[in-house]
Structure 1
């Protein structure tokens, strides 16, 4: 993950520099400068995520030249078998997007449903390590 962190860090630095140069040359055009700043921030978030995972887990078998195929075996992650929260989240987003057109009241309802969906999705298996096996 260290290589990916450096790669996305470089992309973030590129977009940050491009945002500054574009902003100066265009006399701080708000649309283009904002797009480049957001691209810089998105790359920085991915770089930060990769760097944190590298610190937590260390080097992967793919990162080592002396690794064998058997070093990569075993369970990779926990993948939930089923969940209702993606549907709730999508519904909340759809209602919020419709609320942008029809009014603040519908937008706020959509944001509420969206928040419930995201919260449920994030924390649905938060206590899975404390449950008994079986």
Structure 2
């Protein structure tokens, strides 16, 4: 994950420099805001990759002397079935319709969306490994 952290860090630095130059020379706020958001997104991914590298160290894919068997085994726990992605998608769809039809529908959609996201996050919170 170290290479990925450096790669996305470089992308973040590029967008930061581009945003600074674009904001100074053009004076146009929408493009500057878009470049700042792009900088933030690349920075978040770079930070995540750096934290994962510090926690877990080098992966077998990062080592030249690694063999295929080094990366074998279970990766993570993936739930077999869950109703929460459907609830989340429904909440997003209702919120998107609420942008068109009115604030009341948007607020209902945001509530359903929050319920679905919280359901996915805490579905297996008490699961023991």
TM-score (norm 2): 0.96
| Aligned equivalents of 1:68, 1:60: Cα separation in 2 | 11
Aligned counterpart, 2:86: 87
The RMSD of aligned alpha carbons is: 1.0
Aligned counterpart, 2:72: 73
Aligned counterpart, 2:95: 96
| Aligned equivalents of 2:54, 2:83: Cα separation in 1 | 33
| Aligned equivalents of 2:20, 2:14: Cα separation in 1 | 10
SS of corresponding position for 2:76: coil
1:52-63 to 2 correspondence within 5 Å? 52-63=51-62
String of CA shifts for 1:17-58, please: whole Å, max 9, x gaps: 10010000111x111011111111111111111111111111
| Aligned equivalents of 1:100, 1:15: Cα separation in 2 | 30
String of CA shifts for 1:48-97, please: whole Å, max 9, x gaps: 11111111111100111121211111111111111111110111011111
Q: Which runs of 5+ in 2 are unaligned?
A: none
| Aligned equivalents of 2:42, 2:59: Cα separation in 1 | 22
Q: How many residues align?
A: 129
| Aligned equivalents of 1:17, 1:117: Cα separation in 2 | 38
Q: Which runs of 5+ in 1 are unaligned?
A: none
| Aligned equivalents of 2:126, 2:49: Cα separation in 1 | 25
Moved over 3 A (4+): none
Aligned counterpart, 1:24: 24
Aligned counterpart, 1:119: 118
